[in-house]
Structure 1
Amino acid sequence: MTAIDGPAIARAPRRPGTRALVRRRTAVFLKYLSLVLASAVVLVPLAAVLLTSLRTSTEMADGAALAAPHNWFNLHNYVVAFNDGHMLRALWNTSFILFFSVLGTVLIGSMTAYAIDRFPFRFKKLVMALFLIASLVPSVTTQVATYQIVNRLGVMDTRWAPVLLYMGTDIVSIYIFLQFIRSIPVSLDEAARLDGANSFTIYWRIILPLLKPAVATVVIVKGVAVYNDFYIPFLYMPDDDLGTISTSLFRFKGPYGAHWEVISAGAALVIVPSLVVFLALQRFIYNGFAAGATK
């Protein structure tokens, strides 16, 4: 061995020890195992619902929940669920409530966040603390008073009852908008005021257009929550003609109490639209939350 080879050997990186290598591989294995288990918890019930919806009543009596149907194109259960469950009417009621609830949440949430961030007033910290406390209080504890208020307003058993409740109980949207508004320079407001713009003009023409990522996040999160909600439509719209997607599915328990294939078909009709929308727009949810967290 020459003198030149000595330093080269000394500079050679050492291989990690056996214990360190085992710990690293164990950590990687546990990471992927947890991901697989979490995916199974979500996907297995969906697969059971889909497979059950394609089976007949005879197959339901003979097979397990995850057994494959004999005919993969058996859409009879979907036709029964769609017609007898009045899914088209339920979809219209859900769309009506969803549109006005999301629209009101975006406007009220963004305006509230703009007022909190841009205008100094007394007890601002107290208002923020009350918002936080309101988000921590279980909604079921206030349902008696809420029910009386909705009844006194004269909107009981109408589509406007859940719309008002959805617009007035979303504290999370205010915090999402607040994180984004804090990143907008106040100098834009000052420049607009020098040009003669009032507070509403600044909000409508400057602040709101810059809140597009936050608006997309709130629309998706709020839309999925309203679409899947069962409690409020069931309590405040007992009329069968005002049934939403979730309550119409619940009414299958009567005539189809033992026909799980029809109930599963109705569940699939409810799940598929929200699942497709979420998979198509999920990047806006993650990007919106990540951007809001780093502002």
Structure 2
Amino acid sequence: MTVLSPAARPPAKPRAPRGTRAGGRLATALKYATLVLASAVVVVPLAAILLTSLRTGKEVSKDPGLALPHDWLNFHNYTVAFTDGHMVRALLNTAFILVFSVAGTVLIGSMTAYAVDRFHFRFKKLVLGAFLVASLVPSVTTQVATYRIVNDLGVMDTRWAPVLLYMGTDIVSIYIFLQFIRSIPVSLDEAARLDGASSFTIYRRIILPLLKPAIATVVIVKGVAIYNDFYIPFLYMPSEELGTISTSLFRFKGPYGAHWEVISAGAALVIVPSLLVFLALQRCIYNGFAAGATK
């Protein structure tokens, strides 16, 4: 066994001052406390809705708090909410609006971003500035003019009214596509033009396939926004048979205004689809935002 001389021993690591170690522990404790508090703000309302939906009317009237249900398999409230709330019809209306709106947003947004980035024309900066100004203007301030336009187009109280509005008012999607297109080398366009490809062929065969991360981000973010939107379907589709998820839940509150267990079951039915989609595609959301931030 060899013994190292004092000169050959490695120098000892300097210890951090006690104040620095205490400050680091306090920062760590505050970080985790903030995370716990933020999680509680999100989880507690969801837990209250879930627990209330599994309880009976007597249990809710006796203890309206976060009490546990007596029967964890009490799905009677869900049956009432699903049938009396016309959830199947609402899901079909929502799916119709969602599919056409998201598809139109992806098509129009990517084409607009491609034209703005790749083509040089007069007042190009003015167009970009107009997009920025349009994104800053509150949509509520333009609803009077928008309502008249929708009414004059003859699509009022139809499912096409929100589809047109969702497709034509999404400036954020254009900027998301624009950031991705700027990272695609122009040399790919030039090589395709030497082979005789037109501008539309370049967009369809080269640009669009390279925009898959941006498309995934726009589809998820736009889809969740449309699924949760209440204002536009309620204003432009007043008929009850055209109700979406949000408006059907609002109208469902009327005859069951005092039955919070049934209303909670209806709210849970609305939350579950979007929650499952988010959990399944959360990696695409984070990767899309991260890729857009680094481009």
1:56 corresponds to? 56
TM-score, normalised via structure 1 length = 0.97
Deviation at 1:6, TM superposition (A): 4.5
Q: Is the 8 A contact 1:51 1:65 kept in 2?
A: no
Match of 2:91, SS state, is helix
Partner Cα separation in structure 2 for residue 3 and residue 41 of structure 1: 58
1:8-87 equivalences in 2 (<5 Å): 8=9, 11-87=11-87
1:133-152 equivalences in 2 (<5 Å): 133-152=133-152
Which amino acid is the alignment partner of residue 29 of structure 2?
F
Deviation at 1:292, TM superposition (A): 1.0
2:167 corresponds to? 167
Q: Deviations over 1:142-174 (max 9, x none)?
A: 111100000000000000000000001111111
Deviation at 1:124, TM superposition (A): 1.5
Number of aligned residue pairs: 293
Q: Deviations over 1:46-79 (max 9, x none)?
A: 0000000011110011113211000001000000
1:115 corresponds to? 115
Worse-superposed segment, 133-142 or 232-241: 133-142
Partner Cα separation in structure 2 for residue 6 and residue 123 of structure 1: 74
Which amino acid is the alignment partner of residue 111 of structure 1?
M
Match of 1:112, SS state, is helix
- For the aligned residue pairs, the C-alpha RMSD in angstroms reads 1.2
Partner Cα separation in structure 2 for residue 58 and residue 266 of structure 1: 18
Deviation at 1:7, TM superposition (A): 6.6
2:274 corresponds to? 274
Q: Is the 8 A contact 1:53 1:77 kept in 2?
A: yes
Partner Cα separation in structure 2 for residue 27 and residue 290 of structure 1: 26
**Where does the alignment leave 5 or more consecutive residues of structure 2 unmatched?**
none
1:185 corresponds to? 185
Match of 2:127, SS state, is helix
TM-score, normalised via structure 2 length = 0.97
**Where does the alignment leave 5 or more consecutive residues of structure 1 unmatched?**
none
2:6 corresponds to? 5
1:274-293 equivalences in 2 (<5 Å): 274-293=274-293
Match of 2:167, SS state, is helix
Partner Cα separation in structure 2 for residue 252 and residue 86 of structure 1: 9
1:97 corresponds to? 97
Partner Cα separation in structure 2 for residue 205 and residue 190 of structure 1: 13
Partner Cα separation in structure 2 for residue 150 and residue 81 of structure 1: 32
Match of 1:66, SS state, is coil
Q: Deviations over 1:158-211 (max 9, x none)?
A: 000000000011111111111111111111101111111110010011100110
Deviation at 1:8, TM superposition (A): 3.6
Which amino acid is the alignment partner of residue 38 of structure 2?
A
* Same amino acid, percent of matched pairs: 78
TM-aligned CA distance change 1:3 to 1:122, over 3 Å: same
Partner Cα separation in structure 2 for residue 292 and residue 147 of structure 1: 34
Which amino acid is the alignment partner of residue 5 of structure 1?
P
Match of 2:155, SS state, is coil
1:253 corresponds to? 253
Partner Cα separation in structure 1 for residue 100 and residue 4 of structure 2: 81
Partner Cα separation in structure 2 for residue 198 and residue 227 of structure 1: 37
